[in-house]
Amino acid sequence: MQKRLIIMMFNMILLLAMTFQNAYSDDVFSYDQTAITRAKPWTSENFRNDPDDFKFVIIGDRTGGANVMHTFKLAMAQINLLQPEFVINVGDLIEGYSDDKAELNAEWDESDKMVGELKMPFFHTPGNHDIANETAQAVWRERFGASYYQFVYKNVLFLVLDSEDPPRKAPEGIKEKLDTYNRLQTEDPEKAKAMLAEFMSDESVVAGLAQPVEFKGEQADFIKKALQENADVRWTFLFLHEPAWEKPSESFKAIQKILEGRKHTFIAGHLHYYDYDLIDGNEHITMGPAGASFHQEGPGNVDHLMWVTMTEDGPEIANIALKGIFDRKGLDPELFGAYDRKGAKPDESKNEEKE
């Protein structure tokens, strides 16, 4: 009797297991098991479909001399092709450096229109062009609220920081120079290039780039509290515009100290050049641009986006050059300048007219 009961229970367990397997197979992956029995023309049935994994995109600077091929607008369409769960920018979406609220709002209206084409959430990080002075800071707060904030997604902490708190002193005549540079990109590209090189070698600009980023007062308290209250997350991403690790201030070193022993990744922009640093075993990445002017020669001169897949072992990162993404219809020659700026003729670009 006992033996018969054990056999019945075993058969029930086996039946349940087979039912579960068949249900799983029907829902996720199925094939004709009568036609394909032993050898199979695939390597594994272990699909990369962990429900805890997720994918998001990071995109770099648009401004600081936005190119006239409208690369950023094109990037928004390309991101929609990729369908990430959300997008995070590392700052500088408007040229800024104005004390006129109406002018700043008009620039944000233009930026928001492009970002509004995305089919997924877009998270802002403030840059030095976005918050260049107290007027721009006020406009930011009116439109977007906080300039530093946090959120948790699938047990991963995202900390968006404000490297422009408070706004820095602008280089003299920067607004007029930007206007001239952007005009020259169409009228005389070679002259625009020479103007940019002269600007980047200016002593005041070099000194500004060398100035350490400070995180003090309320923002420092916010960072400390956010990390304490989310001590058990599986990973922490920290986004800021200026790569503070290049010339670390004491306040930034204090943040690094708090992060010791914690799995984390820093992502910044600002320099318009892709760069990778591994500091104490943690990745610190500076994004290349997504339409902003190139500031130096080299392999980091690339319009790109970063595709991040968050796995149980940490983030997998793939950088995708924008010229490597096009839709099912194929590469449009009329848009090639926006894909690969070095071969572009700005006055012939028709990208602005494209839907």
* pLDDT 10s digits, 183-197: 888 888 888 888 888
- pLDDT, position 25: 41
d(CA 160, CA 126): 9
Q: pLDDT tens digit string along 13-34?
A: 544 444 444 433 447 889 999 9
- pLDDT confidence band for 296 (50 / 70 / 90): confident
213 secondary structure, DSSP code: P
- pLDDT confidence band for 98 (50 / 70 / 90): very high
- pLDDT, position 5: 54
Contact of 136 with 96, CB cutoff 8 Å: yes
- pTM summary value: 0.86
Q: What is the mean pLDDT of residues 72-89?
A: 96
Contact of 160 with 88, CB cutoff 8 Å: yes
Q: What is the mean pLDDT of residues 269-293?
A: 96
Residue 98 token pair: 């104005």
Q: pLDDT tens digit string along 105-128?
A: 999 999 999 999 999 999 999 999
Evaluate if residue 353 carries a pLDDT over 80: no
Q: pLDDT tens digit string along 196-207?
A: 888 777 777 666
Strands 87-89 and 122-123: parallel
Q: What is the mean pLDDT of residues 202-216?
A: 79
The larger pLDDT score, comparing residue 355 to residue 9, is at 9
Contact of 85 with 120, CB cutoff 8 Å: yes
- pLDDT confidence band for 320 (50 / 70 / 90): very high
HEC profile for 290-325? CCECCCCCCCCCCCEEEEEEEECCEEEEEEEEHHHC
- pLDDT, position 346: 55
The larger pLDDT score, comparing residue 157 to residue 296, is at 157
Strands 264-268 and 235-239: parallel
Sign (positive or negative) of CA dihedral 349, 352, 353, 355: positive
Measured CA angle at 226 (ends 88, 250), to 5 deg: 90
d(CA 89, CA 126): 9
Q: What is the mean pLDDT of residues 87-107?
A: 96
Q: Percent of the chain at pLDDT above 70?
A: 87
In the predicted model, what is the mean pLDDT of the chain?
87
